[in-house]
Amino acid sequence: MTRLKRVLVILGSVVAVLVLAVGAGFTWLYTSADVSTVGSTDFRNELAIPPLAKSTLRKDGTRVFDLTMQAGEREFMPRRKTPTWGFSGDYLGPTLRAGRGEKVEVRIRNTLPEPSTVHWHGMHLPARMDGGPHQMIDAGGVWTPRWTVNQPAATLWYHPHPHGATEKHVQRGLAGMFLLDDDRTERLTLPRRYGVDDLPVIVQDVRFDGARFDHGHPLLASVGFLGDRTMVNGTLAPYREVGDELIRLRLLNASTARVYTFGFDDGRDFSLIGTDGGLLEQPAVMDRVKLSPGERAEIVVRMRPGERTVLRSHPLDAGMDFFNQRFSGGDDSFDVLQLRAAPSLRPSPGLPARLGELAVPDGSDSVRGRHFELKFSGINGRKMDMGRVDETVARGTAETWTIRNNDGMPHNFHVHDVQFRVLEVNGKRPPAALRGAKDTVFVPSGTTMKVAMRFDGPADPDTPYMYHCHLLYHEDQAMMGQFVVVEKGQRAGTPHPAHGHEGH
Ligand SMILES: [Cu+2]
């Protein structure tokens, strides 16, 4: 008996020590998981503005751009050279710009040591030009997509989309903006001088290990990579001097997994004027806007002479559980960009009361519904298969898609080729920030969303478009599916990957 007791006591002690150790380990992980740069950012670097890409006009009116995917290095910090990738430069890429109705062509040369792709995020274009995982550009290869811009003015972007390696390629620096203009927007009194009162704001979170990027995923972070500081346009701790009363910020979340809740350090209001697919019907005044990876928001903020204000990312309020809130970055906060107003400012005309009509359908003419169950293990229970077409859509029709996340971790949802309207969030009218045209939407766990879109592109039964979670680790882990657009009554064909070779 006494021996049994002794064994039990020893066993009990061992268990108690283990429990304590695990508890202490978890407490350490928990307390070290949240990061903040609020109040500790010195704003010592002038914000870089990506140059506008040069283009040439061909006789037939085609606007031709050249992009080179290349390896390089950049001194994000003084005297520390970080190995990077970029488009026609060492990090990120130039801003492409084209007008509605223009024919565009982009000659892309891949000088990287591995194959990649260039996807035009938010662009309405033929599936073969989309730059998804079926349009691989070999190392040393060239790919020359061309299409006609036919959608409203918007802040779009481009980035690689090679199946299984998108996170890595974007993190190394392959991303850039693609701005679209149209006549109607030109006539509105909006800040529009690029780099002056109309600023691209490409936000990425990063972590450094010495001079190198550290792309390791934090322990217990189901979302993937989370950095411990932010960059804008590749600039750490950035400030920008501004000389106008109204400043338009084109916010792009080009991070791989992090969700931002943008606002200002003094809580001031701003006007949301545009979302992923272009302008809202009218400006919406708010003091916070949430952006998950891939989403954009155009906001206009009013400056007073001589003042400084900081664009900040606040902790996330998305109803996440205790565990996810901490380990998915929800408790983190960042000082993102300081705006410094000149002692006297050029007066800006007030914002127009109406911006325009939304071009996305309202669900009333949807000919069918589809359901998408978001799980890390796959959408609708299936992992991405390059050779399988998951959904077949009839050209010229509108549909209502229901997107549900009950997975216990945050996801978002991006559909290629189209812009959609959010009809409902958990059965309710969407908040103001989700009432514009969208191509990517944040879907935290416990959310069901209905969205409506129209498929107007040319039919191509053999070349699929993608829908997927835009948390890039999840996308790489095959949280993605494929749809083709066909003529009514036509069947889906067989996807066959086409490679971009020299002269292709
Ligand atoms: Cu996801």
Q: Are residues 300 and 164 in the same domain?
A: no
- The residues placing their C-beta within 5 Å of ligand 1, an ion, are 411, 469, 471, 474
Domain end position, chosen among 156, 186, 216 = 186
Q: Are residues 68 and 119 in the same domain?
A: yes
Q: Are residues 287 and 396 in the same domain?
A: no
Q: How far apart are the first and last CA of the chain?
A: 83
Please write the tens of the pLDDT for every residue from 142-152.
999 999 999 99
Is 38 part of a structural domain of the chain? no
Is 351 part of a structural domain of the chain? no
Is 360 part of a structural domain of the chain? no
Is 251 part of a structural domain of the chain? yes
Tell me how far the alpha carbon of residue 294 lies from the centroid of ligand 1, in angstroms: 12
Tell me how far the alpha carbon of residue 224 lies from the centroid of ligand 1, in angstroms: 9
Distance of alpha carbon 448 from alpha carbon 291, whole angstroms: 18
Q: Are residues 29 and 52 in the same domain?
A: no
Tell me how far the alpha carbon of residue 412 lies from the centroid of ligand 1, in angstroms: 6
Tell me how far the alpha carbon of residue 31 lies from the centroid of ligand 1, in angstroms: 24
Across 118-245, where does the E strand assignment appear? 119-121, 135-137, 142-143, 146-148, 154-159, 176-181, 198-206, 208-209, 212-213, 229-232, 235-236, 238-244
Is 352 part of a structural domain of the chain? no
Tell me how far the alpha carbon of residue 474 lies from the centroid of ligand 1, in angstroms: 5
Number of domains within the chain: 4
Tell me how far the alpha carbon of residue 293 lies from the centroid of ligand 1, in angstroms: 10
Domain end position, chosen among 159, 186, 213 = 186
Distance of alpha carbon 357 from alpha carbon 152, whole angstroms: 10
- On whether the CB atoms of residues 33 and 218 are closer than 8 A, the answer is yes
Please write the tens of the pLDDT for every residue from 186-195.
999 999 999 9
Q: Are residues 233 and 302 in the same domain?
A: yes
Q: Are residues 203 and 342 in the same domain?
A: yes
DSSP string spanning 96-145? EEEETT-EEEEEEEE-SSS-B--EEET----GGGS-STTEEE-TT-EE--
Domain of 140?
45-186
Tell me how far the alpha carbon of residue 473 lies from the centroid of ligand 1, in angstroms: 8
Is 207 part of a structural domain of the chain? yes
The SS3 call for residue 366 is: strand
The torsion of the CA quartet 246, 336, 170, 292, rounded to 10 degrees, works out to -80
Q: Are residues 97 and 175 in the same domain?
A: yes
Q: Are residues 333 and 212 in the same domain?
A: yes
Q: Are residues 414 and 299 in the same domain?
A: no
What is the CATH number for 64?
Answer: 2.60.40.420
Is 357 part of a structural domain of the chain? no
Q: How far is CA 347 from the centre of its chain?
A: 33
Q: Are residues 205 and 338 in the same domain?
A: yes
Tell me how far the alpha carbon of residue 414 lies from the centroid of ligand 1, in angstroms: 10
Per-residue pLDDT of the chain (504 residues; tens, 9 = 90+): 678 888 888 888 888 888 888 888 878 777 777 899 999 999 999 999 999 999 999 999 999 999 999 999 999 999 999 999 999 999 999 999 999 999 999 999 999 999 999 999 999 999 999 999 999 999 999 999 999 999 999 999 999 999 999 999 999 999 999 999 999 999 999 999 999 999 999 999 999 999 999 999 988 889 999 999 999 999 999 999 999 999 999 999 999 999 999 999 999 999 999 999 999 999 999 999 999 999 999 999 999 999 999 999 999 998 888 888 888 999 999 999 999 999 999 999 999 999 989 999 999 999 999 999 999 999 999 999 999 999 999 999 999 999 999 999 999 999 999 999 999 999 999 999 999 999 999 999 999 999 999 999 899 999 999 999 999 999 999 999 999 999 999 999 988 755 444 434
Tell me how far the alpha carbon of residue 144 lies from the centroid of ligand 1, in angstroms: 31
Tell me how far the alpha carbon of residue 128 lies from the centroid of ligand 1, in angstroms: 25
Q: Are residues 149 and 74 in the same domain?
A: yes
Q: Are residues 385 and 341 in the same domain?
A: no
Is 39 part of a structural domain of the chain? no
